[in-house]
A and B are shown apart, each in its own frame.
Chain A
Amino acid sequence: MRRGARRLDGRAHLRLGDLLSEAGAALTARPARTLLTAMGTVLGVAALVATLGLARTAGTQIVTRFDELAATSVQVRPAGQGGFAGADTTVRSSIPWDAGDRLARLNGVRSAGTYTALGTKASRTVPLVDPTGRDVVQLPVVAVSGGTFDAVRARVRTGRFFDDGHNVRRDPVAVLGPAAAQRLNVTRVDQGPVVFVDERPLIIVGILDGVVRQPELLGAVIIPDGIARTRFGLRAPAEVQVDVAVGAAELIGSQAALALDPNQPERLRVAVPRSPRGVQEQVQADVNGLFVVLGAISLLIGAIGIANITLVSVLERVGEIGLRRAVGAARRHVAAQFLVESAAVGLLGGIIGASGGVLTVVAVSAARGWTPVLDPWLPLAAPLSGLAIGLLAGAYPAWKATAIEPITALRQGT
């Protein structure tokens, strides 16, 4: 029975693997209780993950919609001018006539053109002897350059758009918006109908079907800058409409003024859409605030649940604790075991909760036809937060377990 020499300086210790397997055995001995104990953490973590994930998903969704129209739209106007660009303000404008061509050379610009509203003018088609004058309608007139049709993403219904050639030659041509065409009773352009604006004729070369931007064009008579200069004394374009590639708005915003007015770029003001990143963050902040608080509260309840059950478990296992102490466990080994057990319950809750949260995000996204978006750190951080909750919750019961006197515990006969 004797061993020859024993180490006198030995200290009690426990392998990590043994610690984990002892804790695992204790947890699997009562699987139902373990799962129920983890439930609070499951709900808390699931709520947090679902909240953060859905906020991210919804934020991205709003940005996607935002991109399609506004995020590719840039306007250049003279500085110090309000929203509406009227002909009377063009005196101060430093926008050159070839603004569209200049901007089209910039990388990221898909198309660009000038845009000047000239106010409403009396317009009619064929002269009729009509004392009531109902053949004359007041229509807004807009002067644009050839690139503007692309920049506002206009579609043609019949005929064609005028181009820079008409512009340079100062040809008396016009394109009608669909509403304007209806009021003037113009339905076809193949026979070269004429519209009289301020009693001077313009040949109608095309009728719009629709536009994506600048919807006021739908009811307007659209003429080239060239004829506008001749007939209406237009001095300079009031603004430039630019259609940019997705993501290029900020770049163009920083370059457009310099391209149009290299000597005094500060005389121009470039309107770019708000940064998508900012929009997204704001949406997330709105959604997150309340639900993160709710998730945190359910996590706290989860922690209290773990602490409670672990405490009950310590009291139930007084005999086991005494026994472990008797067979050589130091107090810290007993504490470590209960800490590992509660941490494992927390981790389990965190893993299940993270899975539930991710599934919730995917399910909601599927129902709404959204693209589910999740920060990559979230599925990793969620189980770790469960682990931390478990450790925190196990601290008091573990301390309680170390205070148990072995012989008292062993005499109780549990």
Chain B
Amino acid sequence: MADVAPVVELVGVGRTFPGPPEVRALQDIDLVIPRGDYVSILGPSGSGKSTLLNLLGLLDRPTAGAFRLDGIDTSSLPEHRRAFLRGSRIGFVFQSFHLLNHRSIEENVELALLYSGVRPTQRRQRAAAALERVGLGHRLGFAPLTLSGGERQRVAIARAVVNRPSLLLADEPTGNLDDATTAQILDLFDELHAEGLTLAVTTHDADVARRAHRPVRIRDGRIEPIVAADPGIERP
């Protein structure tokens, strides 16, 4: 079973953008996210946070070190294998939802299964089940623009979890939501985490960061030492 390996294992990872001038966005990153963990990733703009998110999401390759996802060394894989891993093991949630506005919410959720070869009938069943899971069973057939912001983000979360990913990457997931809706989304994250999902959430919001089990702070391309007693109460 793959459960022995941690979901994410970064060993000495660096990412340098060739210049001129050469930019060393990440250096010597060692990070392990075990299965079932819930981390928040904090850091000011330009700290290398988005570069790290790119690497974790297999949307970019490190220039140094190794990244193992579920124990699979991803650095040397060809692009189509990485695309498959991304589609089958990673779920993304974004600040601005990124739903296709002219498609129904089921079709939006089905999109996450489109590139991994799931049959259409099975896609529809799983999409409906995922929407049910995030509490939108009564909204089937709706277009995204007819939903509230919180509901749209829940559609996005359904899309992220529909293929049962190893890792859910959320990039400022509550940045566009009010406090009440934010609380609902964070409750949903807690529920998903309780069901065994591994989450990594980037945020500027201390309240959001506090819901995670441990903070990972990035500054100047390096991970700051973890202060166990103080789980991420830092305002940018």
Chain B, Cβ-Cβ closest to A413 = B96
Chain A contacts for B197, CB-based, 8 A: 1
A32 interface residue, CB < 8 Å from B? no
Chain B 67-88, CB-CB to A under 8 Å as 1, else 0, gives 0001010000001110111111
A327 touches B92 (CB 8 A): yes
Chain A contacts for B120, CB-based, 8 A: 17-18
B178 interface residue, CB < 8 Å from A? no
Chain B proximity of A82: nearest CB distance (Å): 80
A330 touches B80 (CB 8 A): yes
**B8-16, B111-119, B144-152, B220-228 - the one binding chain A:** B111-119
B80 touches A411 (CB 8 A): no
B213 interface residue, CB < 8 Å from A? no
Q: How many A-B residue pairs have CB under 8 A?
A: 121
Chain B proximity of A301: nearest CB distance (Å): 29
A15 interface residue, CB < 8 Å from B? yes
B84 touches A10 (CB 8 A): yes
Chain B, Cβ-Cβ closest to A409 = B98
A16 interface residue, CB < 8 Å from B? no
B59 interface residue, CB < 8 Å from A? yes
A183 interface residue, CB < 8 Å from B? no
B2 touches A22 (CB 8 A): no
B60 interface residue, CB < 8 Å from A? yes
**B21-29, B50-58, B182-190 - the one binding chain A:** B50-58
Chain B contacts for A331, CB-based, 8 A: 79
Chain A 1-40, CB-CB to B under 8 Å as 1, else 0, gives 1111110111111110110001001000100000000000
Interface residues on chain A, size class: 35 or more
B88 touches A10 (CB 8 A): yes
A325 touches B1 (CB 8 A): no
B115 touches A326 (CB 8 A): no
Q: Which of A71-104 contact B (CB under 8 A)?
A: none
Q: In the complex, A247→B204 CA distance in Å?
A: 90
Q: In the complex, A6→B163 CA distance in Å?
A: 12
Chain B contacts for A215, CB-based, 8 A: none
Q: How many residues of B contact A (CB 8 A)?
A: 46
A413 touches B88 (CB 8 A): no
Chain B, Cβ-Cβ closest to A327 = B112
Chain B proximity of A414: nearest CB distance (Å): 7
Q: Which of A99-127 contact B (CB under 8 A)?
A: none
Given known A-B contacts A4-B1, A327-B111, A10 and B81 have beta carbons under 8 A apart: yes
A359 interface residue, CB < 8 Å from B? no
A147 interface residue, CB < 8 Å from B? no
Chain A, Cβ-Cβ closest to B116 = A328
B159 interface residue, CB < 8 Å from A? yes
A210 interface residue, CB < 8 Å from B? no
A329 touches B2 (CB 8 A): no
B164 interface residue, CB < 8 Å from A? yes
Chain B contacts for A411, CB-based, 8 A: 50, 94-95, 171
A319 interface residue, CB < 8 Å from B? yes
Q: In the complex, A211→B119 CA distance in Å?
A: 80
Given known A-B contacts A12-B80, A326-B92, A22 and B114 have beta carbons under 8 A apart: yes
Chain A 325-339, CB-CB to B under 8 Å as 1, else 0, gives 111111111000000
Chain A, Cβ-Cβ closest to B107 = A25
B3 interface residue, CB < 8 Å from A? yes
Given known A-B contacts A10-B88, A328-B88, A15 and B111 have beta carbons under 8 A apart: no
Chain A contacts for B115, CB-based, 8 A: 12-14, 324, 327-330, 333
Chain B proximity of A406: nearest CB distance (Å): 5
Chain A proximity of B109: nearest CB distance (Å): 10
B195 interface residue, CB < 8 Å from A? yes
Q: In the complex, A410→B170 CA distance in Å?
A: 12
Q: In the complex, A331→B79 CA distance in Å?
A: 8
Neighbour of A1 across the interface among B70, B87, B195, CB < 8 A: B195
Chain B 107-148, CB-CB to A under 8 Å as 1, else 0, gives 100011011110010000000000000000000000000000
Q: In the complex, A325→B80 CA distance in Å?
A: 11
Chain A, Cβ-Cβ closest to B100 = A320
Contacts beyond the supplied A22-B114, A410-B98: 12 A-B pairs with Cβ under 8 Å: A11-B80, A14-B115, A320-B100, A325-B86, A328-B116, A331-B79, A405-B59, A406-B57, A407-B54, A410-B92, A410-B94, A411-B95
**15 A-B pairs, CB-CB below 8 angstroms?**
A5-B2, A6-B70, A10-B81, A10-B84, A10-B85, A10-B88, A12-B86, A14-B114, A29-B103, A324-B115, A327-B86, A328-B84, A330-B115, A406-B59, A411-B94
Interface residues of A (CB under 8 A from B): 1-6, 8-15, 17-18, 22, 25, 29, 319-320, 322-333, 405-407, 410-411, 413-414
